[in-house]
Structure 1
Amino acid sequence: MFLDDVRLHDWAPGLPANATYFKGEVPRDRQHLPRFIDEFVMGQIDNDMSLARLPDHTSRTAIVILIETGLRSVDALRLPFDPVTVDEAGAPYLMYTNHKLSREAIIPISQRLLHQIRVQQADLDERFGTPRPPFLLPGIRANVDGSRPLSWSTLQARLERWLLDCDVRDATGQPVRVTAHQFRHTLGTRMINNDVSLPAIQRMLDHDSPQMTLRYARIKDQTLRREWERYQDRITIRGEVIRLDPAGR
């Protein structure tokens, strides 16, 4: 892009008209795999006992939103006071602004998340009264009128303290560090491992292109292992399972 702008704006008057660059000279676009949270760790995080140890309703609501919806932190922290709508059948949906793409989006939510949002709203009514704060997740300190949203740094600091308080560890017994954005990767990974279609995942995560969602198709680790383990078995005509010899004998 810089080299294109150089020619467009004539920033290098002496540059020959036939000067060009070749594909091999351009750095490759590195495609990183999603940094999902292992299910062993998620089992320690996403349960009522652990969530109850978060210090307040605002922190608890923020974490449940991130786990269930996969929203980017900036989008979750800027949710309006009442972001919920329902369809003709009464099923709840979350409306939010995708700030990265500057557009509105809507996704389905669970009854658990709906309940948590209603509890948060009741808590805000008690804390701030009328007028209500503009944000569902207002800053907790030095925010008398609730006009400032909870900051990313505060959310991440509370998340880190919460993980330490709950003594969350990985399968090897080591303490884990989780970032708020990893919940987004985890939701995508869970959906692909449960055979949700890529277009549905793209809609849920509000990706701008299928290429972003296709990253999740490369990491069906759990699905791949199930199929690999099934491949290791051989069935005789009598229905007996014979394990495949790893040595190939």
Structure 2
Amino acid sequence: SQLYACLNDLPEETIPVVWIAFKTGLRISDILGLNQDCLIQLNGKYSIITDIEKTFVKGHRIPIDEELADILAVLIQHSIKNSNKDNNPERYIFIRYQGVRKGKPFNQKTIRDHLNKLAHKNKILDENGDVFYFKSHQFRHTYAVKMLNGGADILTVQELLAHASPEMTLRYAKLLDDTK
């Protein structure tokens, strides 16, 4: 809640990365690898479709709400408008159009640094009263615990997170017990 109270203080390109992480549980690396074909609509419902790098899952689909679909549609249109074969050959939506990283997506470390600068500047505190230190994987944990607290079964959460085994997802079930 502290983060979302000052979310607009983040650099403009970081805000949608945070929203996608929060609403999908995708790893930051997978978000930064989204391309212009990632948004699909089936039977009136929107999803993100992407390949999951860590677990080698191809065509992973995550349902999303219309608000996030609208954000993605704007990002995709911006990418299409500003891209060519030279500056964005992979058709990423989070892309550097110039400089030494031209044609490459944003860097995970940059996103994490933006979040931690925001935490320091806005005094986002942890449960001990210390400045909170963001790690990009925390959005996945938040998403999983939110799903489990909302009544989703462990196999559904496993599928949405593209975990290779239920044992990986069970780590979040322990967090669920701690939050009861």
TM-score grouping bracket, smaller chain normalisation = 0.7 to 0.9
TM-superposition CA deviations, 1:62-110 (whole Å, max 9, x none): 111111111112211111123100111x111001111112222001012
Residue matched to 2:165: 209
Residue matched to 1:139: 96
Question: Residues 170 and 116 of structure 1: is their aligned pair in 2 closer, same or farther, counting only changes over 3 Å?
Answer: same
Matches within 5 A, 1:48-87: 50-56=6-12, 58-87=13-42
Residue matched to 1:31: none
Any unmatched runs of 5+ in structure 2?
A: none
Q: TM-score, normalised by structure 1?
A: 0.63
C-alpha separation between the residues in 1 aligned to 2:124 and 2:66?
26
- Identity of matched residues, %: 26
> Which structure has the larger Rg?
1
Question: Residues 61 and 141 of structure 1: is their aligned pair in 2 closer, same or farther, counting only changes over 3 Å?
Answer: farther
Deviates more, 1:195-204 or 1:132-141: 132-141
Matched, 1:100 2:54: yes
| Structure 1 SS opposite 2:175 | coil
C-alpha separation between the residues in 1 aligned to 2:83 and 2:172?
44
Letter in 2 for 1:46: Y
C-alpha separation between the residues in 2 aligned to 1:125 and 1:166?
35
8 Å Cα contact 1:138/1:148 also seen in 2: yes
Question: Residues 141 and 158 of structure 1: is their aligned pair in 2 closer, same or farther, counting only changes over 3 Å?
Answer: farther
C-alpha separation between the residues in 1 aligned to 2:140 and 2:106?
19
C-alpha separation between the residues in 2 aligned to 1:163 and 1:81?
31
8 Å Cα contact 1:82/1:136 also seen in 2: no
Letter in 1 for 2:3: I
Question: Residues 119 and 165 of structure 1: is their aligned pair in 2 closer, same or farther, counting only changes over 3 Å?
Answer: farther
Any unmatched runs of 5+ in structure 1?
A: 1-42, 224-249
Letter in 2 for 1:93: S
8 Å Cα contact 2:21/2:31 also seen in 1: yes
Deviation of residue 123 (structure 1)? 3.8
C-alpha separation between the residues in 1 aligned to 2:139 and 2:162?
15
8 Å Cα contact 2:36/2:80 also seen in 1: no
Deviation of residue 208 (structure 1)? 0.9
8 Å Cα contact 1:94/1:108 also seen in 2: yes
Deviation of residue 130 (structure 1)? 4.9
Matches within 5 A, 1:132-171: 133=88, 134-139=91-96, 142=99, 147-171=103-127
Q: TM-score, normalised by structure 2?
A: 0.85
RMSD in angstroms over aligned alpha carbons? 2.2
Letter in 2 for 1:210: P
C-alpha separation between the residues in 1 aligned to 2:4 and 2:156?
23
8 Å Cα contact 1:67/1:183 also seen in 2: yes
| Structure 1 SS opposite 2:179 | helix
Deviation of residue 192 (structure 1)? 1.6
